[in-house]
Amino acid sequence: MSRIAYVNGRYVPQSRAQVAVEDRGYLFSDGVYDVIPVHGGRLAFDERYLDRLDRSLAELKIARPMSRAALLQIMREMVRRNDIRNGGVYVQVTRGVAPRDHKFPKGIKPSLVLMAKKSKAPPPDLLVKGAAIITVPDQRWARRDIKCISLIANVLAKQAAAEQGAYEAWMIDDDGMVTEGSSTSAWIATAQGELVTRPNGVEILPGITRAVVLDVVRELGLALQLRPFARDEAYAAREAFLTSSSNFVLPITRIDRRPVGEGKPGPIALRLREAYLKAARHG
């Protein structure tokens, strides 16, 4: 079955979907996006994702292309037309199409594009062995809380990981603290078993999976510290894991080639993974 994309009001075969060369997303990365997960044929946590999209749009002063209800309707239609059981819907909004000029053009409409994707089977052994990650300097701009389509620093970080046979790269700020992964949120459990993840702020994207897992952590009454943690603390951690819409909760067993804890997926990460998946099926 060929994939169907949505481009500015029309559902079109994805292979023939097109945007204008003067789209400001193409010229300036002047746009935002989000990826809403689909579990069992249903969008999960869609209100939280739409809140984040609204916030990204507001921060960049890009007009909402339509009401939330209308956008949700299109998202559901994309799930249906692409026959997605498990996967995600990608939504991108750019400021619109205009002759190249940095300042905001007057009187243009935002461009709206949606694509839907089935989730790929994870690499064999990833869950059994856990993920290996590397660390790289965080080279992004100062407003990482906005889900902007400008992802070049994230792209370079993920590529560096791939070239070293690793699954993800954790980015390190100028103070030696972990900000987050190139497309995932970062967590550790200390030797005392306390969970640590960085609080929301301009330094990181407010991950929705992270927010759902934080709710679970609080429900389960697990010890939690919302604070930045250093790369050295991650090396010495009992467990490490990442969270994202497409990876859920994924144990990390190597950081910069050093084993984390016993070098096996840890019990806290595996428990949180189960709890997240249960919430996603109902959420």
Q: Which of residues 15-74 bind ligand PDD (CB under 6 A)?
A: 35
Task: Count Cα neighbours of 167 within 13 Å in the Cβ-side half-sphere.
Answer: 21
Is residue 185 at the binding interface for ligand PDD, with CB under 6 A as the rule? yes
Is residue 208 at the binding interface for ligand PDD, with CB under 6 A as the rule? yes
Nearest to 34 by CA among 144, 112, 147: 147
Q: Residue 101 in 3-state DSSP?
A: coil
What Å distances lie between residue 43 and 54, 74, 90, 265, 280, CA to CA?
Answer: 17, 12, 12, 28, 9
Where helices occur in 99-178 by DSSP H, the ranges are 126-129, 152-163
Q: What type of residue is 189?
A: A
The helix (run of H) or strand (run of E) holding residue 237 is none
Is residue 184 at the binding interface for ligand PDD, with CB under 6 A as the rule? yes
Here the tokens at position 193 are 């078993």
Q: Report in angstroms how near the CB of residue 162 gets to ligand PDD at its nearest.
A: 15
Q: CA 16: distance to chain centroid?
A: 27
Binding footprint of ligand PDD, residue count (CB under 6 A): 15
Among 82, 111, 209, 253, contact with ligand PDD (rule: CB under 6 A): 209
Q: Report in angstroms how near the CB of residue 68 gets to ligand PDD at its nearest.
A: 17
Here the tokens at position 137 are 């300097």
Which residue number, 213 or 237, has a Cβ lying nearer to ligand PDD? 213
Q: Residue 162 in 3-state DSSP?
A: helix
Q: Report in angstroms how near the CB of residue 229 gets to ligand PDD at its nearest.
A: 16
Is residue 180 at the binding interface for ligand PDD, with CB under 6 A as the rule? yes
Is residue 244 at the binding interface for ligand PDD, with CB under 6 A as the rule? yes
Mark 144-173 with x for binding to ligand PDD (rule: CB under 6 A) and - for no binding: ----------x-------------------
Q: Report in angstroms how near the CB of residue 108 gets to ligand PDD at its nearest.
A: 26
Considering only the stretches 6-14, 116-124, 178-186, 218-226, report the one whose residues sit in contact with ligand PDD under the rule CB under 6 A.
Answer: 178-186
Among 25, 65, 87, 207, contact with ligand PDD (rule: CB under 6 A): 207
Nearest to 198 by CA among 213, 177, 219: 177
Catalytic entry in 147, 158, 264, 278: 147
**Active-site residue 147, yes or no?**
yes
What Å distances lie between residue 218 and 35, 39, 63, 238, 260, CA to CA?
Answer: 25, 23, 36, 20, 24
Q: Could you tell me which residues come within 8 angstroms of residue 272 by beta carbon, excluding any fewer than 6 positions away?
A: 213, 216, 217, 241, 249
Among 183, 195, 261, 279, contact with ligand PDD (rule: CB under 6 A): 183
Q: Report in angstroms how near the CB of residue 283 gets to ligand PDD at its nearest.
A: 13
239 vs 149: CA distance, rounded Å? 31
Active site (catalytic) residues: 147
Interface positions with ligand PDD (CB under 6 A): 35, 154, 180, 183-185, 205, 207-210, 243-246
